[in-house]
Amino acid sequence: MNRIGKLYFRYGTMGSAKTAMLLTQAYNFEERGMRYLCMKPIIDDREKDNVIRSRIGIERKCEWIYPDTDIYAAIKRLSDEKQVVFDWILVDESQFLQEQQVDQLARVVDEFGTNVVCYGLRTDFQRNLFPGSMWLLAWADVIEEVKTVCWCGRKAITNARVANGKVVKSGEQI
């Protein structure tokens, strides 16, 4: 196969419009007749349907990624069923991926020549790397920050948890 794909990791804080960017990208691919697939980990349970939905109200159907999903095998199966090789795979909430799933996405890039773009958070509110983000930072061909503005007016650099009007740095993940 002569196609050369890349693994992209686009990270930003909450509210930086990562999901809206993914959905806009999917719309553009669709308009151009490109073959793409949207995916997201099911651990992101804000939605009950298999959709990626932005806070601004746009949405698109997606394939669920379960903790035990072999993403390489799932993409190969869908590719065989539709008789296409996807040009692009778009993954939302990629911070929730497992190490082996990031490795499987890298394998999709290498073996199919498919571009894979992962959108997600880099760190949690305690500034700890999420496992999926850690592996994407290590293995991605292209790493891009999606910038946004903090409530204070400066560049947002981390997520915060606010409880009773105060920023807290302890407690469980939500």
Query: 93, 111, 145, 172: which one is catalytic?
Result: 93
- Count CB neighbours of 58 within 10 A: 15
With beta carbons less than 8 A apart as the criterion, state whether 21 and 58 touch: no
Active site (annotated) includes residue 93: yes
- Paired sense of beta strands 63-65 and 36-41, if any: parallel
Structure tokens at 72: 């390489």
Which of 51, 24, 30, 29 is closest to 40 using CA atoms? 51
User: DSSP code of 122?
Assistant: S
- Active site members: 93
